[in-house]
Amino acid sequence: MHHVSNARLSAELLLAHCLSVEREYLYTHDERVLADLEIQALEEAVYDRIHGVPLQYIVGRQEFYGRYFLVSPAVLIPRPETEHIVEAVLQIHKAAGQASHPRILDVGTGSGCIAVTLALEIPGAEVFAGDISEAALQVARINASALGASVSFMCMDVVDATVSQFEFIVSNPPYVGRGDIHRLQREVREYEPHVALFSPDDELEVYRRLVAGAERVLSAGGYLLMEIGIGMDERVLELFNARWEKLPVKTDLQGLPRTVIARRRGSET
Ligand SMILES: C[S@@+](CC[C@H](N)C(=O)[O-])C[C@H]1O[C@@H](n2cnc3c(N)ncnc32)[C@H](O)[C@@H]1O
């Protein structure tokens, strides 16, 4: 027994991938006989899946905010809860008046899912995205180009290499403490990039650096939006000093606090 979650759906997606068709095709072509090479490809894909390789790395893509993103083991597989960052930026932008052309920085862009989505959803936005992993940036660049998004990418440690001013800084940083590795599912622990999962020292390290860096490169009245791990909201909110206005934390579909939002006070705010 190989305890693969959603086994039937996984099998269908693997078969569709090996035949280079969409899953719906399988239901209308049950007479289709597989060629030897297709059988071999399917056997290899099933072998990988039952040995823990995430489905998304085998089929090479994951949907995020209605678009497919290329994913490889160099990048975190985009998660549905991260879409709340996109929604929150769109909401704030809409309330501020659609005519503005915000400068947006995505820190730790991974596959580029947040940066590319914002570039496509906010016409006229100037979007920048950084990551410490050059391998991740290569995937993000491919996604931006395939989806027709204009994003400027840079290899950067948090916000250290920039002196520009932004109206939005967004990030889904690594937030798992090294000591919690055993709590992760095998698929995540063994196959997703550790640089994307683990905060180097304690869980809050990248948040601390993000808040300090954002204080330097956010324009007055600008917003910092960060995804947080379950149960981290109070500790992350404590990182903001009096120069920030803390907004209500957004919850995910299960009602868990997942997106911290703070506004940089300026002379007029
Ligand atoms: C949790 S993943 C998020 C990826 C993507 N934004 C998403 O939401 O799917 C964190 C990303 O931050 C990057 N990262 C880790 N430490 C970093 C640092 N010090 N500076 C910049 N990026 C970093 C990782 O390489 C990884 O791509």
Of all protein residues, the one whose alpha carbon is nearest to atom 10 of ligand 1 is 196
pLDDT at 68: 97
Cβ–ligand 1 distance for 131 under 6 Å, the answer yes
Together in a domain, 77 and 109: yes
7 vs 115: which has the higher pLDDT: 115
Cβ–ligand 1 distance for 229 under 6 Å, the answer no
Together in a domain, 138 and 193: yes
Expressed as residue numbers, the domain containing 244 is: 73-264
Q: Is the residue at 58 inside a domain?
A: no
Is the pLDDT reported for residue 269 higher than 70? Answer: no
Together in a domain, 110 and 43: no
Average pLDDT over residues 182-189: 93
Together in a domain, 11 and 86: no
Is the pLDDT reported for residue 1 higher than 80? Answer: no
Cβ–ligand 1 distance for 133 under 6 Å, the answer yes
Q: Is the residue at 132 inside a domain?
A: yes
In degrees, to the nearest 5, what angle opens at C-alpha 111 toward C-alphas 78 and 179? 60
| CB burial of residue 148 (10 Å; 0-12, 13-18, 19+) | exposed
Cβ–ligand 1 distance for 134 under 6 Å, the answer no
- From the list 81, 73, 153, the residue with the least C-alpha distance to 112 is 153
Q: Is the residue at 255 inside a domain?
A: yes
Helix axes 36-50, 7-19, angle to 10 degrees: 140
Q: Is the residue at 218 inside a domain?
A: yes
Cβ–ligand 1 distance for 174 under 6 Å, the answer yes
Q: Is the residue at 11 inside a domain?
A: yes
pLDDT at 99: 64
Cβ–ligand 1 distance for 157 under 6 Å, the answer yes
Is the pLDDT reported for residue 166 higher than 70? Answer: yes
Total count of domains within the chain: 2
Is the pLDDT reported for residue 3 higher than 80? Answer: no
Q: Which of 172, 191, 198 to mutate to test the pocket of ligand 1 (most atoms within 8 A of CB)?
A: 172
